[in-house]
Every structure is written in C-alpha cells, then in structure tokens.
Structure 1
C-alpha cells in the first residue's frame, strides 16, 4: 500500500485553507505545497491567510516551479476553476500520485480521470463542517469529516492509502462502502441548502427550524431524488432525514459556500447544482420547477453585481 508523505493542494477557499492548515501542522509545511500563480502568492504573503484568527505559515509554489511528485493532490478549487487547476498541478503528478477532490457536485472526479486517466482517484464527500471564508480569513467551529470511497464494494488500495494517511494526520474521516450513494446524497443536500440560502441570503439557522426556507430546501432535494433514481442511485426521504441531522450540527450563524459567494458578489456554482439538475431533468423528462426557480433567482442576483 502506498504511503502518503507529501501533499500538493490547489485552491485556497474555505476547505483548502482548513486542510492546508491541518496538514501543514501535522506533516510540517515543507511537505505540504500550496500551488498558485505568482500574483496570488504575492497577495497571500502580503496580506496573510488566517484560520480562526491565526496567520497560516504555508509553503507556496507556482505551477512552473520544479518540484518532486506529490503522493497526494488535493483539489479544493471552485468547479469553474477545475480545468485550470488540473493543468496547474501537472508538474506535481506521476503515475502513483493519488487525487482527492473536495469539490461539490457529482462530476469533479470524472473530470480528473479524463485529465489523468492513469492516476488513482478517491471519491470524497466533505460534510459537517461550518467553515466560512471572508476575504483572507477563515472561521469554523466544526471541522466535520471527509467521507471517502471508490466505485464498487471492494475497498481499493488507493482508498486504503488515503484512509491510512488520515489516521496518521488525525483528520476525521469515514470510509463509505456505498460511495456513489453518499456522493449523490451530498449533491442532493447541496442542491437544497446551498441554493436556498444563496437565494434568501440566509444562514444555516434559517433551515434548522420549520418554515419557508426549510420547505424550499427540501423541495429542491426531492427533485434530485427523482433524478437519482433514474441514474440507478436509490435516494429516499430517509436520506433527507439523514442530512437534516447533519445540518442540525452546524453553527446557526454559518453559511454554505454559495451564500458566501452571493454575499461577496462572486460567481457561484449555480451551473453545478441547478444547472445539473435541470439538464438531467430534461434528459429524463422529470419536471424541476423548484430548481428552475432557484436558477432564475440566483442568476438574476449574479447579473446585478457583475
């Protein structure tokens, strides 16, 4: 089994900072490389990157800088930056390098496999964290867990290697034997909670109680259930109940990534959520009125601040 000693991370959003800080503390910053272009690195060094009030001491490298191959590449960009990110880490990859994506949605692993068909990719769902990034500062109360697995029931060697690495660095994780179900379940959650709170410009507290926001979120999730069943993934009301229990653990003042994007007037991952649901809905002849509404409302917000 491969032993993971070096990590390259692309993307310093909320999750990128959280895991970069954790791995740098556990492994030593020389073994954790943050890949970014020269202009961004200059900004990071000048302004600092902070996690819960503490300035992070990261090891930055540009895509052009010669480096040894990484044992693990952690992809933590936004989806619209994935293609550029995969190109940027090319110099960090050999055929034994394992990829792990903490991106939302159901497609990032497939995109990685297209770019690096010879490399092992571990499926991953990040859940239970309440990280909020504002400018260059990250705040979180709950680090959550990373759920990892692979297609098929048998645990593959590269998934075992990542699990052993998480044990070594004391990062909370769970190995999921039915990973595709988990991946679609998290997608269902994001379609509901990310888009609802982005449209309403709300916080987790708004969907932790009965009311319009919670009802809208669950209605969007039910449209994913109908589509998932056509994809051969069995989701049900029990899965909504499971994710509601996860939501209950989050800080009521926290916001999901799309709500943070709207607050900061950034481009969101709307195409990844409602965009995917609407496309698959048309493919299977399934109406998606709730996601249509969310798509229109959030698109209008983005047009006003662009």
Structure 2
C-alpha cells in the first residue's frame, strides 16, 4: 500500500471543517482538496470558513475538475447528501485510494462500497468532538478522534489500516484502531440515537445529559432499545458499551451540542430518519416495541413540521 500524501474531503460541516483545518496546517496546500460545487465554493471564498477563530486556508475543487486520485478520501457529508457526494468524488478515486466515511448510521460504508468497491473502504466513526457550528464559524474544545478498522476482527492490521495509521501519526490526527469495527459502528449508532435526539428534544446541550435527571434517563433508555435490537441483528451490544459512551460524553464541553440539536435550532431538517426512524423500522421487523424512540421520533417530527 502506497504512502498517503494527498487527501480529498467532501463535506464542510463540523467534522469536515475541524479535521480539514487541522490537516491544512500540516500538509502542502495542493495536497489537501475540499470537493464542493461551484455555488458552495463561491460562498466559502466570499464569506470564508473559520475554525476556533482562525480563517481556514483550503484549496477548493469542483466535482467536474480533473484531479489526480486521492490517496485518502474522507466523506464528511450528511446522510441525505451521500448519493450526490459519491458521484461528486469520482475524479478523486483511483486504484489505490483508501476511503473513510465519517457519516452517522450503519449503512454508508456499504453504499459507498457498492460504487467504488469495498476493498477501498475502511469502517470508521468520528467520536469525542464537541464542535458547535454557527454559520461559517466552528468552535470546539475537544477535536475527538477517528476510530477505524476492518469490518471483522480477523482483519485487524491490513495494509489499508497501517497506511492510514502512519499518515495520522505524521499529521498528529488522534485515532484508534478498532478490531471489530462493524460492532463499534453499531455502538456509535446507539450513542447517536440516545444523545443526538435527546439533546435536540430538550433544546439543551451536553451538560443536560451529563448530570442526573430526566434527559439523561431518556438518553440511556433510547440507547437500551438499540442494545436490545442489536442482539436480534447478531451484534451483541451490552451495558458495557453504554458505559463506554457515558464516559466519552462526560469529557465533552457542557456547552457543546450534537449536530441534530444544532439543526433544529437553525430550523434545518435533521437526521431523525437515520436514528429513531431506523430503530422503529428494526423494531417492527423483529416484533420489538421501542416506545422511547417512538416518542423522540414523533417529537422531532412535530418540531420540524412547524418550520
């Protein structure tokens, strides 16, 4: 596997800005490319993009521009933008490109793999960041990290994993290699179902779910419904997985908040179908009631109906 020298990122939400800005200070400008359509690029150039009050210095490219394939391609879009993003990246994918998808949920890797081949894809989650994005400005206390690996535990240190780890070491990107990454993907999904939806419905922040009270109880109850469903799906999440995420959450800035809460505040449509929508569908498939997620789903849909 060749050394990673060039990186392309699609998606300048919180995660794209955060890690893009970090890499831009550690790579030649021409080796890091942000893929976006012309309208977005014009806006980024006129209004600029800021990360912790620093102006980001990005090289932007449109999907139509010819480009050498990236050694590493990072998807950082929302799920409803994934189909378009896959097509927008076609000039950046070559024989040796490694792909990381930092999207929420449990399906993006397979969807990307359908187009570009699963042999290029590493399973990945981004976790532990407490970034808040308002307009073109991102602020954070904890940048979090990438967790990545192959789907199954018997593929612990493939050449793709070694290449990404070596690159992240050089560029000071926090990361963790996870031996059983598909299970961790489900585990992160369980977290998102709990924390994203609860903070959004309560109109609060991480501080609200870090302390004892109704919001924290709601979050944990929503996570437990995913835990029960995981057994039926052969994933086998446990209370230890919930405790792991409660520890992660305890270290975040109390003033921070997940993306769904930021979406509802800005009157944007959220990823509720990805979270409780998926839980409700799985519950129906397995004949299991998921009342906490049903309540969260209905409340978020009601908020969005008032836009």
Q: State the SS of the aligned residue for 1:100.
A: strand
- In the alignment, what sits opposite 1:236? 238
What is the CA RMSD across the aligned residues, in angstroms? 0.9
- In the alignment, what sits opposite 1:274? 276
Q: Which runs of 5+ in 2 are unaligned?
A: none
Q: CA deviation at 1:130?
A: 0.4
Once the two structures are overlaid, the 10-residue window that deviates more, 156-165 or 7-16, is 156-165
**Does the alignment pair 1:106 with 2:106?**
yes
- In the alignment, what sits opposite 1:164? 166
- For the residues of structure 2 that align with 1:216 and 1:293, how far apart are their CA atoms? 10
Q: State the SS of the aligned residue for 1:294.
A: helix
- In the alignment, what sits opposite 1:176? 178
Q: CA deviation at 1:2?
A: 2.3
Q: Which runs of 5+ in 1 are unaligned?
A: none
- In the alignment, what sits opposite 2:200? 198
Q: CA deviation at 1:94?
A: 1.1
Q: CA deviation at 1:237?
A: 1.2
- Contact 1:97-1:119 at 8 Å conserved across structures: no
Q: Which digits, 9 at most, give the CA deviation of each residue in 1:182-239, with x for residues without a partner? A: 1111110000000011111110000000000000000100000011111111111111
TM-score for both structures, normalised by structure 2: 0.97
Q: 1:42/1:119 Cα in 2 relative to 1: closer, same or farther (>3 Å)? A: farther
- In the alignment, what sits opposite 1:147? 147
TM-score for both structures, normalised by structure 1: 0.98
Q: Which runs of 4+ in 1 moved over 2 A?
A: none
- For the residues of structure 2 that align with 1:283 and 1:168, how far apart are their CA atoms? 45
Q: CA deviation at 1:159?
A: 1.6
- In the alignment, what sits opposite 2:296? 294
- Contact 2:110-2:118 at 8 Å conserved across structures: no
Q: CA deviation at 1:172?
A: 0.6
Q: State the SS of the aligned residue for 1:254.
A: coil
Paired residues in the alignment total: 305
- In the alignment, what sits opposite 2:6? 6
- Contact 1:128-1:246 at 8 Å conserved across structures: yes
- For the residues of structure 2 that align with 1:302 and 1:165, how far apart are their CA atoms? 41
Q: State the SS of the aligned residue for 2:25.
A: helix
- For the residues of structure 2 that align with 1:171 and 1:86, how far apart are their CA atoms? 24
Q: Which digits, 9 at most, give the CA deviation of each residue in 1:10-63, with x for residues without a partner? A: 000000001111111111221110000001000000000000001101000000
- For the residues of structure 1 that align with 2:233 and 2:166, how far apart are their CA atoms? 32
Q: State the SS of the aligned residue for 2:125.
A: strand
